[in-house]
């Protein structure tokens, strides 16, 4: 493939070191932060150095790989469990975090307490690199399935589900770029995504780098946008999709889905199978992270809200499955019977990995 190297590289594993592109500083500065263990990695996830569900999962796998070098012969299993618990606690909504930890836990079945920790660390590094490479491949496959749904009209996306939110290429932005690379010419409306501004800071940066025309709108402009401009589809990512197709994604997604239905516009969700949680029967089972009130009261460290005002700051919302036109996975698109279709795609994903 000509564009083998992703234009944006959020996670780097070099000479056994984990480097994360510090997304808090984008688009102004491109700097990498090194994580030397599980605690530092969890801190990086919590503080949004790295964000986006698949990227969080890949990072957690590497966090375990760097921590594994500190495992002690004789207490390897308890050392692993302590590191896994630290990472699992970092953020609650994106199921990819737990998914990746479970994949790493799969290696522990073959590890005896008396094993050489260096061998365990090497196996962990190999597995984390596999998860990393597979994520990029998954996004490309998902992108090509999704591109078949688009016919060259303008698209709305929310938050950032691009290369930055994954190991590379992106899920929702993967669909958009696959369509663009397939020769269709269209524009993308990126929502600002208050309060963390992933759309303004990250999505508009990524799309500009890719040469895909992007127009930034604030979240409150979406209704007016639907009413006054021709939009073919909405394409968003997901942090966790329940077994019935209810979709947890960045706060503000639900209202866009409602507006899309009102205006007869398709609403697609790009969901790698690592983001589908069959243990959550419906969206009501998905834990929704609430973040620090200062994200709402302040912009770039400067208070913009009145003092002492109370704040509600959920980072995600749930879009009910009846508002979803299709869920795009790396094994094809599910439409209609989400319960059956998603279970089939997850099973296919498991078979493909084994
Ligand atoms: O709080 P964030 O920036 O981690 O939220 C990210 C999102 O909501 C993305 O849309 C989602 O993780 C899908 S990323 C492929």
The preferred substitution site among 237, 241, 315, 319 for testing ligand 1, maximizing ligand atoms within 8 Å of CB, is 237
Q: Give CA–CA dist 251/323, Å, rounded.
A: 16
Please tell me the predicted confidence (pLDDT) of residue 204: 98
Q: Give CA–CA dist 201/349, Å, rounded.
A: 32
**Domain 2-138 shares a fold with domain 142-353:** no
Distance 68 CA to ligand 1 centre (A): 27
Q: Which residues line ligand 1 (CB under 6 A)?
A: 51-54, 94, 159, 161, 165-166, 171, 198, 237-239, 249-250, 315
CB 45 within 8 A of CB 89: no
DSSP code of residue 199: I
Distance spanning both ends of the chain, measured CA to CA: 25
Dig out the tokens for 96 from the structure: 């990819």
Please tell me the predicted confidence (pLDDT) of residue 1: 40
Q: Domain map of the chain by residue range? A: 2-138, 142-353
φ, ψ dihedrals at 14, nearest 5°: -130, 125
Distance 60 CA to ligand 1 centre (A): 15
| Strand 276-277 to 240-242 pairing | parallel
Q: What is the CATH number of domain 2-138?
A: 1.20.120.420
Helix (H) or strand (E) holding 249: strand 247-250
Residue-wise pLDDT for 168-194, tens only, equals 999 999 999 999 999 999 999 999 999
Distance 53 CA to ligand 1 centre (A): 5
Which residue's alpha carbon is at the smallest distance from atom 15 of ligand 1?
161
Mark the ranges of the chain whose per-residue pLDDT is less than 50.
Answer: 1-6
| Strand 316-319 to 247-250 pairing | antiparallel
Is the model's pTM score more than 0.85? yes
Please tell me the predicted confidence (pLDDT) of residue 4: 47
Question: What class is the 142-353 domain?
Answer: alpha beta
CB 149 within 8 A of CB 328: yes
Q: Which of 236, 227, 229, 234 is nearest to 198 (CA)?
A: 236
Q: Which residues are catalytic?
A: 239
* Strand intervals (E) in the chain: 11-14, 17-21, 32-35, 155-157, 188-191, 214-217, 233-236, 240-242, 247-250, 266-270, 276-277, 298-299, 302-303, 316-319, 326-329, 332-334
Residue-wise pLDDT for 3-22, tens only, equals 444 479 999 999 999 999 99
Distance 71 CA to ligand 1 centre (A): 31
Displacement of CA 332 from its chain's centroid (Å): 18
Cβ atoms within 10 Å of 161's Cβ, excluding its own: 34
Which residue's alpha carbon is at the smallest distance from atom 6 of ligand 1?
52
Please tell me the predicted confidence (pLDDT) of residue 354: 79
Q: In what order do the strands lie in the sheet with 32-35?
A: 11-14, 17-21, 32-35
Rounded to 5°, angle at Cα 159 from 59 and 2:
65
């Amino acid at each position: 493939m000509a564009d083998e190297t992703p234009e944006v590289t959020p996670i780097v594993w070099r000479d056994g070191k984990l480097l994360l592109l510090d997304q808090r500083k984008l688009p102004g500065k491109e700097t990498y932060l090194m994580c030397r263990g599980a605690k530092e990695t969890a801190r990086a996830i919590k503080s949004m150095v790295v964000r986006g569900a698949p990227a969080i999962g890949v990072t957690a796998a590497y966090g375990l790989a760097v921590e594994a070098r500190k495992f002690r012969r004789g207490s390897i299993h308890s050392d692993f469990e302590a590191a896994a618990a630290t990472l699992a606690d970092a953020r609650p909504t994106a199921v990819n975090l737990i998914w990746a930890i479970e994949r790493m836990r799969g290696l522990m079945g073959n590890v005896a307490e008396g094993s050489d920790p260096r061998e365990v660390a090497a196996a962990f590094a190999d597995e984390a690199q596999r998860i990393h490479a597979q994520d990029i491949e998954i996004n490309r496959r998902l992108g090509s399935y999704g591109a078949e749904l688009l016919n060259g009209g303008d698209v709305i996306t929310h938050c950032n589900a691009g290369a930055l939110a994954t190991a590379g290429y992106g899920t929702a932005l993967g669909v958009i770029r696959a369509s663009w690379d397939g020769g269709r010419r269209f524009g993308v409306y990126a929502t600002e995504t208050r309060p963390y501004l992933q759309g303004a800071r990250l999505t508009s940066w990524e799309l500009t780098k890719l040469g895909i025309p992007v127009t930034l709108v604030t979240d409150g402009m979406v209704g007016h946008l639907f009413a006054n401009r021709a939009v073919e589809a909405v394409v968003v990512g997901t942090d966790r999709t329940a077994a019935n197709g209810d979709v947890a994604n960045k706060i503000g997604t639900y209202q866009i889905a409602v507006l899309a239905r009102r205006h007869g516009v398709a609403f697609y969700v790009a969901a790698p199978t690592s983001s589908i949680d069959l243990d959550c029967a419906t969206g009501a089972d998905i834990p929704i992270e609430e973040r620090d009130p200062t994200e709402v009261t302040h912009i770039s460290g400067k208070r913009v809200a009145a003092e002492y005002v109370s704040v509600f700051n959920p980072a995600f919302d749930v879009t009910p499955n009846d508002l979803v036109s299709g869920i795009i996975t790396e094994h094809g698109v599910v439409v209609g019977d989400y319960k059956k279709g998603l279970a089939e795609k997850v099973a296919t994903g498991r078979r493909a990995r084994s």
